[in-house]
Structure 1
């Protein structure tokens, strides 16, 4: 079975308002097109204060996309939960769960950029404690019953539609994240293919006596752009892929473990790495078949400020000339 995913982070170098507005509107329409074409999921990201406008408000965009679709799942990966007021976050996720029919999945991440914490008035050194409070508050709030929060009794309404609570995973690449997920009985989503961390998570579940499961990324994760002519596309649009790769790499430390990590300094180097791939429809089908059962295809149609019309071409090739062949 192939899992198909369309990814958006709405990067727009230069932050031109008209181009940003066009990009956001296109993303919502692309979500609707993906929904009607049988794509499995949409993935949104979260970052703050980026010079290129990297999506800071994934829940607002998720709401727009859920409203324009009927069956496709929408995942926020990752939601930087310590930056939110936990009661407001519980309310927002409950409303999205109700309006979206349970199609929203949130991966709770702790973040890795101290400047994002500083901008939101959060203590970077207390991020573990903040994450614990956030997750514990969400689970208590979604019960619909009164509970103690910061020395007062509160109650969050309405309760979400999904019981016992909306789909919430704990993301991360540390043993602390795996322990946190195991202790709370939440699923765990490592940030990269880390089977040793999956094993540790299950060991901790056994110790805590909790239920749960692990969504382990595949050994090979590639961000895809579908084109009839990869050579021409790399020459013309490779700069957009390189922009995103360079920005993302600049945020990470040498110890960061990520499913998508590049050291490329040029578009040619980026192409050789294979993290970002421009493929023909035939090459994309072959790539899926090489991965075997459980293959994951991640289309990134608006990557790094990719022109909207080129993003549409990529999406149409993917839904019309790749997915039907894989389903057959």
Structure 2
């Protein structure tokens, strides 16, 4: 099993102020790096009312400054919002800063106001994404290339051969087929899309893709007293699930694991929301597949850093040693 962190930095008015959120994310990434976590997922959206991170590459740089081994996975990086050449340069620099620890899932974007904000035509987003990905491939080859009728060159060369690892993201069947046809690895917004992707990729003669790491919870919180902590964390989790569920309606197609919830009981009924004691957590993880990703969305909905740290520390003290003893995680890989 993989151990991962995830941050989107969205925080409502009753949530933690953003300076404290960003500082806590840096500190938690350093903690995860020392324990042997695999990656930190950083998300990106623009013009969100409650401060969703619009600059995940800058946030990644802050994390690389205090870590040595952990990867940062920009998931998703909305490539249609970026100038392709500047994107290639920024990612190449991050590849050097991190010594090859930057990955990205390329997202097309789906929120209309973001395209309006950057003066982009949402009906041309597929072409915008294809241009961005084609530019990244050419830019990271290290040689001059033609770009809009000009000869350009992107430096410095990256650390990873061919540049940072790129996945394609998406929440629709079309995205799965597009990733397969392009020969990309795929990071589906919904697990059911993986079979479509893998089948199409095989038809086209590509080698088998990397195994899918299955995220087993959108939010996992460890506590010695769930009844005490549910009222503390529920407003933040409900805010996040309701926000993502509302944004999903802007897609028109596709699905999301986040659903609207109006009560604590509705949150408790969601299979992707887990608030567990250490014993309950270990017992639950024993039932999960070996290729699972344990993703701590540690500051979801502007969660109080003290509450967030309490969960992570309890996991470190009372769950992680049991996972290691049971050979369910390998922190040396």
Fold-level similarity (TM above 0.5): yes
- Cα distance in 2 for residues equivalent to 1:151 and 1:133: 14
Q: How does 1:109-128 map to 2 (within 5 A)?
A: 109-128=107-126
* Secondary structure of 2:269's aligned partner: helix
Conserved? CA contact 1:15–1:52, under 8 Å: no
Supply the distance in 2 between the matched residues of 1:174 and 1:243 (Cα, whole angstroms). 24
In structure 1, the partner of 2:328 is none
3-state SS of 1:291 partner: coil
Within the candidate set 278, 288, 305, 2:302 is matched to 305
Query: Residue deviations 1:1-32, cap 9 Å, x none?
Result: x111111111221298x821111111101100
Q: Map of 1:59-208 to 2, 5 A cutoff?
A: 59-194=57-192, 195-203=194-202, 205-206=204-205
**CA distance 1:310–1:126, change in 2 (3 Å):** same
CA distance in 1, matches of 2:320, 2:39: 13
Q: Deviations over 1:95-141 (max 9, x none)?
A: 11111111111000112211111111111000000000000000000
Bigger shift: residues 244-253 or 32-41: 32-41
Give how far 1:212 is off.
Answer: 6.2
Q: 1:289-318: per-residue Cα shift (whole Å, max 9, x none)?
A: 110312221112211011111111111112
Give the TM-score normalised by the residue count of structure 2.
0.91
Given the superposition, is the C-alpha separation of residues 34 and 44 from structure 1 closer, same or farther in structure 2, using an over 3 Å criterion? same
Large movers: runs of 4+ above 4 Å: none
Given the two structures, how large is their TM-score scaled by the length of structure 1? 0.92
CA shift in 2, pair 1:262/1:62, >3 Å = same
Instruction: Give the 3-state SS of the residue equivalent to 1:164 in structure 2.
Output: coil
User: CA separation in 2, counterparts of 1:217 and 1:242?
Assistant: 26
Mapped contact 2:236–2:303 kept (Cα < 8 A): yes
The alignment status of 1:277 with 2:279, answered yes or no, reads no
Map 1:19-98; keep pairs closer than 5 Å. 19-98=17-96
Cα distance change of structure 1 residues 15 and 122 upon mapping to structure 2, 3 Å threshold: farther
Q: Which runs of 5+ in 2 are unaligned?
A: 326-333
Maintained 8 Å contact 1:173/1:197: no
CA–CA distance in 1 between the matches of 2:187 and 2:8?
Answer: 19
Aligned Cα RMSD in Å?
2.0
Distance 2:204 2:124 in 1: 24
Cα distance, 1:269–1:257 mapped onto 2, change above 3 Å: same
Cα 1:133–1:211, aligned 2, differ >3 Å: closer, same or farther?
farther
Name stretches of at least 5 consecutive residues in structure 1 with no aligned partner: none
Inter-partner Cα distance in structure 1 for 2:283 and 2:317: 16
Equivalent in the alignment of 1:13: 12
- The corresponding residue for 1:233 is 229
Q: 1:322 aligns with which of 311, 314, 319?
A: 319
Output the CA distance in 1 between the equivalents of 2:23 and 2:254: 33
Paired residues, number: 322
Deviation track 1:177-201 (CA, whole Å, cap 9, x = no partner) reads 3343334332122211124322344
For the Cα contact (< 8 Å) 2:95–2:163, is it kept in 1? Answer: no
**Within the alignment, does 1:250 sit opposite 2:249 as a pair?**
no
Match of residue 260, structure 2, among 242, 259, 263: 263
- Distance in structure 2 (CA, Å) of the matches to 1:143 and 1:322: 44
1:67–1:15 CA distance, 2 compared to 1 (3 A) = farther
Preserved contact between residue 230 and residue 275 of structure 2 (Cα < 8 Å) = yes
SS in 1 for 2:224: coil
Change beyond 3 A, Cα 1:252–1:128:
same
SS of residue matched to 2:133: helix
Q: For residue 3 of structure 2, what is the aligned residue in structure 1? A: 4
